[in-house]
Chains A and B, each alone.
Chain A
Amino acid sequence: MDISLVIGLVVDYFSKNPMAPYLIVSTIMFFAGVYGFITRHNLLAMLMSLELILNAVNINFVVFNRFLYPGQMEGMFFSIFAIGVAAAETAVGIAIIINVFRSGKKIETSEVNTMKY
């Protein structure tokens, strides 16, 4: 198969679906976040992964709003709203992490498994 043909197909696909690149980026961000959230043992890293997930969602909001309902602003506002919430959440999360650190001098997830049955 000719490489130019492949590029042509891709360009053709992207020109037909202008949302696709954004969505691909956001999907990668989202799964990167999920992967990080699951694999990291550091609470701070987990929090960062969480930010990635949230921002992936924000991108989706903005993109769908921009391309599907250009006349409306709900998606934009919602992403701004989500950014605000994420900021608050990060603040709370960091506060918890700091407390965890103070009590155990570590911020490993194994430290905070007391909330079980």
Chain B
Amino acid sequence: MDTNIVIALFILIIPVFNFLFLGLLGSKMSEKTAGTIGTVGLGIVALLSYITAYNYFFGYGKVDGVYLPISEGFEWLRFTEHLHIDLGILLDPISIMMLVVVSTVSFMVHLYSIGYMHGEKGFQRYFSFLSLFSFAMLGLVVATNIFQMYIFWELVGVSSYLLIGFYYTKPSAVAASKKAFIVTRFADLGFLVGILLLSYFTKTFDFAQICDTSATGAILSNNVTTTFLGFSVISWAMALIFIGGAGKSAMLPLHIWLPDAMEGPTPVSALIHAATMVVAGVFLVARLFPVYYFFTPTVLQIIGYLGAATSLFAALVACTQTDIKRVLAFSTISQIAYMLVALGVSKYGAEHEAGLGYMASMFHLFTHAFFKSLLFLAAGAIIHAVHSNEMGDMGGLRKYLPITHITFLIACLSIAGIPPFSGFFSKDEILVAAFEHDKILFVCQYLVAGLTAFYMFRLYYSIFWGKETHYHHTPHEAGLNMTIPLLFLAFLTVVTGFIPFADLITTDGKPMEIHTVWEVAIPSVLVGLVGIAIATYMYKKPTLMPDKVSNSLGGFYKATAKKFYFDELYIFVTKKIIFNGISTPIAWFDRHVVDGFMDLQATISNGVSAKIKGLQSGHVQQYVWVFAVSVFIIAGLVIFLPL
């Protein structure tokens, strides 16, 4: 086996070993041992990912100026001659980028959790679940075939379920975890059916073969003509697969689980619900990008518009939320949708910056992972210090939490798209791609950029400036193992923007020439600054401005604050339709109609028997009469009837 694959294999083995080790023996260990084992394991994983990335990008990966995928695997479960699930490792630019993201953020979160989760009941369990999640997520990104991806997709879902419900005695956490799992599971059904449909035509699960347009091209384009409800079968398949991605990536209307998922411990939100798992949908679309682009452009367009709608919606809702984690959650939804917009407007190839959207999307995924996990970890540090999630309980914290303050500010500037922070570069590329290929989406995303700057600085000012709140305990900065991850991620937020992504990650592996488009870059910075300015005006000092604005918006504000009633819709569908509308009648039908029919047979037998039991009177002489008469009748019949 290739040594590079072996290194990548260890990236997967270490977390799964940690999971089993901590899960089975965790209760026998002290917190310190368990935390150390988990963190060191992930540290090694991160290191191995960096080695893999370095070797790939600057060594074996590039052949004749093109980055080629390398894969290795074995057959795990054979279905038919062509269809079999392989487990393997696929190294190509996007999977390696994801390896770096996942392992880095996971490592930081592990380190941070040692301090954050200190003294919690189930500390060891927490670390074992974190390792499980890391394993699943790493396995997802290196999947060689779509079914392997589905396997790890499910594993990721379960570990997310377990971690959201970590505080299992809290009913809200249990409800949130259940909701997250069921909503994503529902989306996964789409994914599964999509896989079945796609593989029925392509006769393979393998990404390389599916995306090899010369091989599958004939099959796929033959079936483009067979239509169902105006869509070709392949379009349906790809749309269904995207539904799986939309579920994990919290796209409208399947986003409802993500804000509730904030019930989990904050580092978990940073890892799973900001940086890694929620971008799986983006990764999935990127992975199958050639199929989307060449055979189902309509679906790709729908993805783009859905992304734009989601990002606008989530940005609006984020402006009204008061729980700081929920603001960040909606911000995450909005930013992921941004990435999907970029994919939606992307074309294929390196010439004339056709594949710019694809590159920008991956770039934004990369930078977003770091600054968003930084925001969450900083929020965790704040919650740790203040013991509340509510913005109203905070204010003027900049004096007490200087490090958190600075790192949070860096992340806010980055997400608002202010140079030279990383968010500026990636967001700018997305806007350029949208500008060149779809003006409507460009306008929409431009608006979202302004909104993003506004709500992030609303958050920032409400926490660190604003009213002087009196605290029961004077808040203080957390220990080193919590501040180091903040500083490290802040460092990454500053530098990652300068990585030459266009050389490394493109649609076809060939490096792409890009140039700055000033007529997009300057307005995008300006809109960010305007957003910041409004937020500064409204929230830096405690004023009555916010209330006035919200009152003047009236119903719209209320709808936004209620998250446009999507939660109510969810409750309606689950409680009223599934529970009361389908299941209860079915259960009733089963007990009373189906089972009633079976019981009816017994009742009829009983009734008939009750009617004829009178013959068994107990009077012997009656029996003899019957007997004798019957004998005569039968004898008469035998004798006189010509048989």
Contact = CB atoms under 8 A, between A and B. Distances in A.
B621 A109 contact: yes
A72 interface: no
Contact of B618 (A37, A39, A114): A114
A117 B613 contact: yes
Contact of B621 (A37, A114, A115, A117): A37
Contacts of A38: 621, 624-625, 628
Given A34-B628, A38-B628, A113 B618 contact: yes
Contacts, number: 28
A37 B624 contact: yes
Interface string B596-627: 00000000000000000110111111001100
A116 interface: yes
A21 B185 CA distance: 96
Interface residues of A, number: 13
B624 A113 contact: no
B621 A116 contact: no
A115 B622 CA distance: 13
Interface in A42-84: 46
Contact of B619 (A34, A37, A109): A109
Contacts of B621: 37-39, 46, 109
A101 B619 CA distance: 17
A47 B385 CA distance: 105
B303 to A, nearest CB: 76
Interface in A70-117: 109-110, 112-117
A46 B620 CA distance: 10
A109 B619 CA distance: 7
Contacts of B628: 34, 38
Contacts of A110: 619
Interface string B573-591: 0000000000000000000
Nearest to A34: B628
Contacts of A37: 621, 624
B293 to A, nearest CB: 82
B538 to A, nearest CB: 90
A116 B616 contact: yes
B193 to A, nearest CB: 60
Contact of B616 (A39, A109, A112, A117): A117
Given A110-B619, A117-B613, 11 more contacts: A34-B624, A38-B628, A109-B619, A109-B620, A109-B621, A112-B620, A113-B619, A114-B618, A116-B616, A116-B618, A117-B616
14 contacts: A34-B624, A37-B621, A37-B624, A38-B621, A38-B625, A38-B628, A46-B621, A110-B619, A113-B617, A113-B618, A113-B619, A115-B618, A117-B614, A117-B616
Interface of B: 613-614, 616-621, 624-625, 628
